[in-house]
A and B are shown apart, each in its own frame.
Chain A
Amino acid sequence: MRKVISPGIVFILALTLGACLSQPAASENPAPAPTQSVPVPEATQPVQAPPQPVIPETRRLTLEYPPKMRAGVEGDIVRLTLEVDDLGNVTPTAELDGNVVTGETVEIPNLYETHYVIAEARLDLAGMQVQPANSIFEPLKPGQSVTFYWSIRPADPGKYAGTVWLHLNFREKSMGEESRIPVSAQIIEIEAVDFFGLSVNVVRTSGVIGSVIGGVIGFPFLEQILTFIFGKRKRRGT
C-alpha cells in the first residue's frame, strides 16, 4: 500500500520553512530593547588648590663654547644666554581618555608680580683658568634676556670637562622668603691643543719670521718677474 502526501501538507511545510529562513539575523542579533533611563551622577571634581605663580613665558637657553682651542696664552669666551622664546606660545591642554582637549584659559598668577627673580650661573671647569670663578647673578625681568660670559684659558694641552650651571633664585616681595631651583646643568668638554709641543706664541712668531725670510730669499725672483713684465711693455711701446 502506497502513502501519498497530500498537496495541503506540502504547502504548509513550505510556508513554515520559508518563514524560518527569512528571519535568521533577527533571531541571532535581537534589537536592543529600550532600557530604563537612569540619571548619571556627575563626576566629582577634585578640589583644586590655587595655582602657584609661574613665569608666564617660555624661554630658550643657549650655550656657546669652543670644543677645541689652542693651549697657552690664548683665551676664549663661554657664553650662556637665557632669552625669551618668541615662538613658544603655550596653550593649556589636557588629555582625557586619549582625547586631547585644548582651550580654556587658566588664570595663573604672574611670578614677576609676587617675587624678585634672579638668574644665577656658574662655570665649573677643573684645571682651567676661569674668570669669573664664582657665581654670576643677573636679575630676570619680563621679556628680557640675560647673558653670562666667562673667559677661559687652558695653560696646558689636554681635555678639560666641566659643567655650566643655571639656577633661579626667588625672593618674595612681601615676606622676603627666598628659594632656589636648578634650571640647567650642561656638561661641556674642551680640548686644548698645541702645535707639536710648541706654544701658540712660538708658532705665531715662527710664522712671521719664516714669512719674512722666505720673502727676502724669493725677492730676486720677484725682481726678475717685474723686469720681464715691464720689459715686455717697453718693447711694445718702442
Chain B
Amino acid sequence: MRITGRLPVALGCLAGIHLLVIFAGFVSPYSFDAQERFHSFAPPTRVHFFDSNGKFHLRPFVYAVASGDENSNEYREDRSVTYPISFFTAGEEYSLFGVWPCQRHLFGVNAPARIYLLGADGFGRDQLSRLLYGGRVSLFGGFLAAALSVLLGLGVGAMAGFYGGRADDLMMRIADVFIVVPWFYLLLAIRAVLPLHIQPEAAFLLVVATIGVVGWARPARLVRGVALSQRERNFVLAARGFGASNFYLLRRHILPSAWGVALTQMAVLIPQFILAEVILSFLGLGIGEPVPSWGNMLAYAQQYHILVSYWWMLIPGLAPVPVFLAYHGLADYLHARLQSVS
C-alpha cells in the first residue's frame, strides 16, 4: 500500500532527472569543457534580487567575480555592473540529441560575467554543466550495462533452465565462479585485461561492456529458476504435446514468465552499475578527462586541500542519491508486486 503510493514519485523523479540529462546541452549554460582560466575554483555564483543601492530587480542578476591575482582563489564580486540572467538565451553551440546543432540555452549571463550555480572546478569549468553532461555518461552507462547483464541472464538462464542436463550444469558452475568472487574485485580483474589508455568513447563502451558481462550470473540464476519451474507446468507440457517446437516454447512460455524477474533485476542492478561506473572512473580505470562522469569529477575531491576548501567538488557524489532512492523504490515496488502475483 505504502509502496504503491511512492511509485509515481519514483518514476517522476527518474523521468525528470533523465530528461535533464538528455537535454544537458540546453539546460547547462556552458559546454562541459569550456575553461575559464581566471575562475579556478570559483565558488557558486550568488544570484541577487537587490542591487547595491537596495533597489529590487524582478529579473535576478549576478555580479562578475574576479580574484586579486591569478593564483589566489579569493573571489570578490564587482558590485558596479549588474549582469541580469537571461532565459532562453543564445550561447555556445551544442548539438541536440547529438544531431541538430543548436545555440539556445535555458539561462545564461553576458560576458564577462559567468554564472556557476554549483561553482567551478580547478580549470574554471562550470560544475553544473559538467554534472549534467556527466550524468549522461553515468546514468546511461549504468542503464546500458544493466540491460546487457539482464539480456545475457535471460538468454543463458532460460536456455539452462529449459534444456537442463549437461549444459545447465556447466552454465551454473561458471555462474558460481562469477558469484563467488567479490564482484568489485572481479570487475577490476576484468578491467585489468583491457587496454588502459583509450579514447573516452571507446572507454565508455568498454566500461559498459565490462560491468554488464561481470554481472550476468545473478539474473541468469534467477531466470533459470523460473524456467525450471515453468518447464514442468501443465500448459507447457500441453503445448509440447501439440507439437510446439523448443524455440516456440521458449519464446511463448518461458521468456514471458521471466519478464517480472528480469524487470526487478533491472531496477536492482541499474543503481549498482551506475555506482560501478562512478567508482571505476573515480579510480582512473573508467572514463577519463575531458569527458565528465560523476566518478572522474569526484576524483578531484581526493586531494585534501580541494576536499577541505571547495565543498562544491563533492556534489557529484551527492548527485546519484535521488537516482538511487528512486530506483530502490522502484525495485521494492516491483518485488512486492511480483510476490503478490505468484
Partners in one complex: no
Chain B residues in the interface with A (C-beta under 8 A): none
